[in-house]
Homo-oligomer: A and B are copies of this chain.
Amino acid sequence: MFADAKFGIGPSIEDGFYYDFELPRALSPEDLPIIERKMVDIIKADLPFKHREISKEEAKILFASQPYKLELIEEIDDDRIGVYSQGNFTDLCRGPHVNSTGEIGAFKLTSIAGAYWRGDEHNAMLQRIYGLAFETQAELDDYLAHLEEIRKRDHRKIGKDLDLFVFSDLVGKGLPLFTEKGSIIRRELERFVVDEELRRGYKHIYTPDLALVALYKTSGHYPYYKDTMYPVMKIDDEELILRPMTCPHHYQYYASRPRSYRELPFRIAELAKQFRYEKSGELTGLMRVRAFCLADSHIICQKEQAVSEINQVMDLIEYVAGVLGYKAGEDFRYRLSLGDRKDEKKYYKDDDAWDYAENVLREVLKQRGANFFEAEKEAAFYGPKIDIQMKNVAGKEDTAFTVQYDFVGPKRFKMTYIDSDGKEKEPIVIHRSSIGAIERTMAFLIEHYAGAFPTWLSPVQVKVIPVSDRHNEHAARITAELKGRGIRAEIDDRSERMNLKIRQAQLEKVPYMVVIGDKEAAENTVAVRRRSGEQLPAQQLASFIEMITREIDDKT
């Protein structure tokens, strides 16, 4: 296609391959099918790939018109240089190759991008063509469908399309701003978690987002978290720091007055802001941020209460996961993370305590018949833990949050309780989350539902659509009635065609559309359709309100 094309490099990469070219004009996506047809011809011709080794001098002559290849040849520290030919085309290449072009089963060119020669912005900008290759067309098709699904579900894309969160260069990297709609989802999640935890006997408290460095030195966290903590702030003669975790704050609350065994289990919970440094290259939408809000908890209890408390924690986690639409075993499973008794630097030395704690966690998981596996050397420094391993839409498994058994914290903070025998005793602590960080949970949920949230989480629950302008007034009354009942309803009274308005509400993933035309206005009914396109029978407004209210309350 381009007689004077200059060739850069063309390696295989994790997800396919690419080739960089200097071309007389910019490629457009329309060029790719043309190139693909030429590739198909070459494959059909079943040309053998012939390998030979030539000297540097021979190579320089062979690639005399290819400046990028010459630069590469110059740098090769060997006089034997490998080249491959098929038909009348010869390329500089280490190999290996398939035997002939006919062995290439299925391929697709996926995109074009600009790329500096050797990744250096001082060099020429080349044109890069990306592609995929598989042994069979079926495998290629599967992979393309998978990519499309991931692309469509990427929470960063959906977050932008549905206006759920934004970033600002002036606010800073990894610090999302939740928009009106994203904030509705966040608030629903937060209130759901808080209310559910209150119902289960937690004390839901508020503690400061920062504290003296001395607090984290006392807790023992400082040396382990120093590199991921924000810098120290000096105020007067004090050193303050943004908190990377909540535990020592909660211990200070516990220790603010003497406690009796009657007060145990003392279940402290908080929607706790936490601040951890992440490399800017690792920041990913809401999934990985520099400040997050953890649904955190510390249960201070007698050692003998641990099995029962951890069971209740697992009940809560599975209940919450169920409401959010996650299935144990399918969307997540448990990892029992154990310590390494020999590594006294990384793990607190107390073999009996480790034995007891690991056994408690293992027994709970077994009793429940939970889907779990064990992992060595993954514990916290203060004890073993159960990790909730969540699978994302790309199938990648990651720790969403944890349940930890801690026998060190109470010692460091000299936490005690007066037992029924009047003696002072040391409790243990269970660290746990029920839903993880709100930001990450939202990222998971956006991808899980591809933006089509269940009604209780939907920023707009009902879009009221007047068929024409003369129905606007009646539609406005209906919207007001819905809002008065606590339903998030919005009217679309623009002078646009009804079908366009319905289509847009569907794109916005609004679960219900209420269409108001002559018939509905006259009969005082509503025509309801779901975002799926399903049309419900015409009904009284009151019956629709009853239905949607039940759905919202039940979180289905």
In the complex, A69 has a CB within 8 A of chain B? no
A273-297 contacts to B (CB < 8 Å): 273, 275, 277, 280, 290-291
Q: Does A524 contact B (CB under 8 A)?
A: no
Q: Indicate whether A178 reaches chain B with its CB closer than 8 angstroms.
A: yes
Tell me the number of copies of this protein: 2
What B residues does A231 contact at CB under 8 A? Answer: 233-235
Nearest-neighbour CB distance to chain B for A492, whole angstroms, equals 12
Establish whether residues B256 and A168, one from each chain, have CB atoms under 8 Å apart when the complex forms: yes
Interface string of A255-274 (1 = CB under 8 A from B): 01100000000000000010
Which B residues lie within 8 Å of A336 (CB)? none
Contacts of A186 in B (CB 8 A): 206
- The CA of A256 and the CA of B171, in the complex, are separated in Å by 12
Which residue of B has the minimal Cβ distance to A293?
B206
Residues of chain B with a CB closer than 8 A to A203's CB: 179-180, 183
Q: Using an 8 Å CB-CB cutoff, how does the interface string of A166-179 with B read, 1 for contact, 0 for none?
A: 10101111011111
Q: Is A148 an interface residue (CB 8 A)?
A: no
User: Contact string, A139-182, partner B, CB cutoff 8 A, digits 1/0?
Assistant: 00000000000000000000000010010101111011111101
Contacts of A183 in B (CB 8 A): 203-206
Partner of A170, one of B179, B211, B235: B211
CB of A193 closer than 8 Å to a CB of B:
no
Instruction: Give the shortest distance, in Å, between A445 (CB) and chain B (any CB).
Output: 16
Is A249 engaged at the interface, CB distance under 8 Å to the other chain? yes
Q: SS class of chain A's interface: helix, strand, loop or mixed?
A: mixed
Closest to A262 in B: B494
The verdict on A210 contacting chain B, using a C-beta distance below 8 Å, is yes
Residue from the list B166, B179, B215, B230 in contact with A171, Cβ < 8 A: B215
Q: Can you list 14 A-B contacts (CB < 8 A)?
A: A168-B256, A170-B218, A171-B211, A171-B212, A172-B212, A175-B211, A177-B253, A179-B256, A186-B206, A187-B194, A191-B191, A208-B291, A209-B209, A230-B235
Binding site for B on A (CB under 8 A): 163, 166, 168, 170-173, 175-180, 182-183, 186-187, 191, 194, 203-212, 214-215, 218, 230-231, 233-236, 238, 240, 242, 248-249, 252-253, 256-257, 273, 275, 277, 280, 290-291
